[in-house]
Amino acid sequence: MRIIPVLDLKGGVVVRAAGGRRDEYRPIVTPLSATPEPVAVATGLRTLHPFSTFYIADLDAIEGRDPNRAALARLRAMKDPPELWVDAGLADEATLEAALAASGICPVLGSESQNDDLLLRRFCRHPNLILSLDFFAEGFHGPQTILEDPTLWPGRVIVMTLAKVGAGGGPDFDRMREVKVRAGDRTIIAAGGVRDAADLHQLKSLGVGAALVATALHDKTLTAERLVSFSG
């Protein structure tokens, strides 16, 4: 079970996510960093565990504003540069191709950003591509064919339950179980609601291969001691 810390970027800083209500996200206040500057937060997270990968949600890009390119560049220039899984609202072929060719980047194709399944059909076999199945409080966001046809799924699939993010209610175990059954040998990554090591062990028992985590790290319900038994 891999633990992948999350950095939600908005306006050049890390914000604390809560329930998918992005207009309410504010710059993060965390004991791990004196500021919400992305490298400072990432460095603080690495005081808990030597994480080799970070998940980046570029909320500005996802919502159609200018991407946080400068923040991403600083993260890529860190000491022991992490691999970055980046959801930047990718929705066109040229931008996705450029992201797939970039060193140290694994682009995340978010279902909420897709108008159809054409990009996924073309690139689903690329080893660097990650699909995010995006679920909001009202249900799945994206073309239904992406959700309903697992043959379109790449080797890694995030099950993103936005209503669970930062809510303290635990992951959506039933949804994880259902997607894992359909996914075959693909790696399923849980996103949203992880509270502690008990949640991680339950996800692992379902065959989930990794979890995206933020709140539990900043609130220290997942401590350095607990993280030793997981990889990052």
The predicted-structure confidence for 163-215, as pLDDT tens digits, reads as follows: 767 566 789 999 999 999 999 999 999 998 899 999 999 999 999 999 999 99
Residue 146 lies in a domain: yes
Residue 139, pLDDT > 70, answer yes
Instruction: Evaluate if residue 140 carries a pLDDT over 60.
Output: yes
DSSP 94-123: HHHHHHHHSTTEEEEEEGGG-SSSHHHHHH
Domain that holds residue 206: 2-227
Structure tokens at 97: 């191709």
Total structural domains in the chain?
A: 1
Helix (H) or strand (E) holding 42: helix 38-45
For residue 176, give the 3-state DSSP assignment. helix
Answer yes or no: is 232 within a domain. no
Please indicate, yes or no, if residue 83 is contained in any of the structural domains: yes
Query: How high does pLDDT run on average in the chain?
Result: 93
Residue 88 falls inside a structural domain: yes
| CATH code at position 83 | 3.20.20.70
Taking the C-alpha atoms of residue 199 and residue 226, their distance in angstroms, rounded to an integer, is 12
pTM given for the model: 0.94
Q: What is the pLDDT of residue 120?
A: 98
For tokens 């959700």, what's the residue?
A: 147
Instruction: Note the pLDDT tens digit of each residue in 11-65.
Output: 999 998 776 566 767 899 999 999 999 999 999 999 999 999 999 999 999 999 9
Q: Would residue 167 count as lying in a domain?
A: yes
Beta-carbon contacts of 230 under 8 Å, excluding residues fewer than 6 positions away, are 1, 2, 3, 49, 200
CA distance 12 to 103: 21
